[in-house]
Amino acid sequence: MIKVEKTELEGVLLIKPDFFKDHRGEYIEIYNEKLYKEKGINIDFVEDDISISRKNVIKGVHGNQSTWKLISCLHGKIHLVVINYDEKSEGFGKWQAFVLSEENKHQVLVPPKHGNGHLCLSNKSIFHYKQSTYYDPDSQFTIKWNDPKFNMRWPVKNPILSKRDEEGGYVQK
């Protein structure tokens, strides 16, 4: 079973999968097409990706115009920010933060025209996401993590960043 909750951002869903835990460990089904479709999530995912980070690393904020992402944290703890980057939407520039961890097992469904970025809060995190399209670097946009236009709040002052994430910028082909 899964519980699906609407968030403050139109189209963004918080998903809470059930899991089993006993003296031997834990079991979680992180995706079951039938269960997700029963909850109205009718997305065909074509790619799974994993990103491993160390404490204080921010990866993103990235997105494109056509990709759905189902995001979870398999190990550790992350601060996930999702932002509406649809310039034609009333919600353009609105963002929301979530804490995903191996403990809470929560997932966030991110629609197209939204960016997402995450900060590793633990010593190490394993960030997992399913995508509805194949990765195409030429279709990606990048929003600078501290762009004053959006005022996204992060619980870190001096994050570790890639050159792309430090500079930001929009690419659309």
pLDDT of residue 173: 38
Selected catalytic residue, list 36, 85, 106, 129 = 129
Give catalytic status of residue 75 as yes or no.
Answer: no
pLDDT level of residue 172 (50, 70, 90 thresholds): very low
Classify each residue of 10-35 as buried b or exposed e, where b means 16 or more C-beta atoms within 10 Å of its C-beta. ebbbbbebeeeeeeeeeeeebbeeeb
118 near 127, Cβ under 8 Å?
yes
> Is the predicted pLDDT of residue 166 greater than 80, yes or no?
yes
pLDDT of residue 171: 53
Work out the average pLDDT over 39-65: 97
Give catalytic status of residue 62 as yes or no.
Answer: yes
Using CA atoms, how far apart are residues 107 and 128, in angstroms rounded to an integer?
Answer: 10
pLDDT digits (tens, 9 = 90+) for 97-132: 999 999 999 999 999 999 999 999 999 999 999 999
> Is the predicted pLDDT of residue 169 greater than 80, yes or no?
no
Selected catalytic residue, list 36, 62, 118, 128 = 62
| Strands of the chain, DSSP E | 2-6, 13-17, 19-22, 25-28, 47-54, 58-63, 69-75, 77-84, 95-101, 107-110, 114-120, 124-131, 141-142, 169-170
82 near 115, Cβ under 8 Å?
yes
Who contacts 85 (Cβ-Cβ below 8 Å, separation ≥6)? 63, 92, 93, 113, 114, 115, 141, 143
pLDDT of residue 22: 94
- Taken in order of first residue, the domains within the chain and their CATH numbers are 2-170 (2.60.120.10)
The helices-and-strands tally (H runs, E runs) of the chain is 2, 14
